Amino acid sequence: MKFSIFLSDFLLHHDPVLISEIEAIFLDNSLHSCVVDATLGLGGHSKMFCSHMKQGDHFIGIDRDRDNLAIAQDNLANTPTWVHKNLVHSSFAEIDTIIQDLGLESIDFILYDLGVSSAHYDDGDRGFSIRFDAPLDMRFDRTQGKTARDLVMHMSEYELRDLMFKYADEKKAVHIARAIVEVRKTKSIDTTFDLLEIIKSSSYDDHSPKRVFQALRIAVNAEFEHVETSIKKSIDKLSLGGRIAIITFHSIEDRIVKNLLTSYLTGTIDDFTGQTIVPSRLSKYNKKPILPTEKEIADNPRSRSAKLRVLTRTF
């Protein structure tokens, strides 16, 4: 915990991705009485939200990671005291219950900045990064659930292969899965470096380690299931004129979000006439996804694959 704070304060240059674009969209209307940061992280975007909120407005920050939540709490310490702030340790998949338990009815603005925080990658203990030798954990919430080691040691060869194809388009999945199963017959695969060695010697591809780590992280945290569940619930809770903003970081995640949002934009079509009989309640804020500028990418290379999609509830 102390280590994470040290890293975030001194080693990381933590820039919230697409912050000025999100700020402009946030300020484009004055509906701020219930604002949710579904992926609080270190509180970068939240700090900006809170600085614009008024007396009596409610801010809710959610994160599955207790360490990040504690750092965010410190980072939000100097934001306006007149905003009701609730920082919740939970998955955003529980958004409906979280809102209800706080006695609130609808959401005016909700942001999802999906995936891993810079603190996760730069914390040598968590197992997210291929740069550090660490226990194979990769859980956002270290209080529950299976670790990456559990999956690597107990999934069948077929399941491992499928996971690498599905969550990372890993072309060498067949060879890597076979190698994992062979190695674990004689020894335990406990650390990131144990796994790296197996991936390198079975794939002969410098990009495979990153992809396999991504696939495992997505599986360990059931990321796509939580994203789909939560976005549906948030859209149901959006107030009239309210907005949902989602930043994705890789093509598979982006495809899932894009398809889900598209299904909400279509409305109900008459099977016979092909005419729209019930128009969609949502509209796109921006025709195309918003991307970081070249300057942002140069300043913060982690932003390079970010895509921001925003929808507004129109009736």
Ligand X SMILES: C[S@@+](CC[C@H](N)C(=O)[O-])C[C@H]1O[C@@H](n2cnc3c(N)ncnc32)[C@H](O)[C@@H]1O
- Per CB under 6 A, residues contacting ligand X are 16, 39, 41-45, 62-65, 68, 91-93, 113, 115, 117, 140, 226
Long-range contacts of 293-300 (CB under 8 A, 24+ apart): 296/15, 296/17, 296/18, 299/15, 300/13, 300/15, 300/17
Q: Residue 14 or 161: which CB sits closer to ligand X?
A: 14
Minimum separation from the CB atom of position 16 to ligand X (A) = 4
Nearest residue to 67 via CA among 40, 95, 48, 45: 40
Are 302 and 118 a contacting pair, CB within 8 Å?
yes
Q: Residue 1 or 240: which CB sits closer to ligand X?
A: 1
Longest dimension (CA), the chain: 64
Q: Residue 51 or 201: which CB sits closer to ligand X?
A: 51
Q: Residue 68 or 203: which CB sits closer to ligand X?
A: 68
- How far is it, in rounded angstroms, from Cα 88 to Cα 96? 13
Q: Residue 39 or 79: which CB sits closer to ligand X?
A: 39
Minimum separation from the CB atom of position 234 to ligand X (A) = 12
Nearest residue to 26 via CA among 53, 44, 62: 53
Q: Residue 161 or 226: which CB sits closer to ligand X?
A: 226
Minimum separation from the CB atom of position 101 to ligand X (A) = 16
Minimum separation from the CB atom of position 194 to ligand X (A) = 24
Q: Where are the beta strands (DSSP E) in 238-280?
A: 238-248, 268-269, 276-278
Are 4 and 67 a contacting pair, CB within 8 Å?
yes
Report the residue number whose CB is nearest to ligand X.
41
Minimum separation from the CB atom of position 17 to ligand X (A) = 7
In one letter, which amino acid is 130? I
Minimum separation from the CB atom of position 64 to ligand X (A) = 4
Q: What are the residues facing 296 on neighbouring strands? A: none
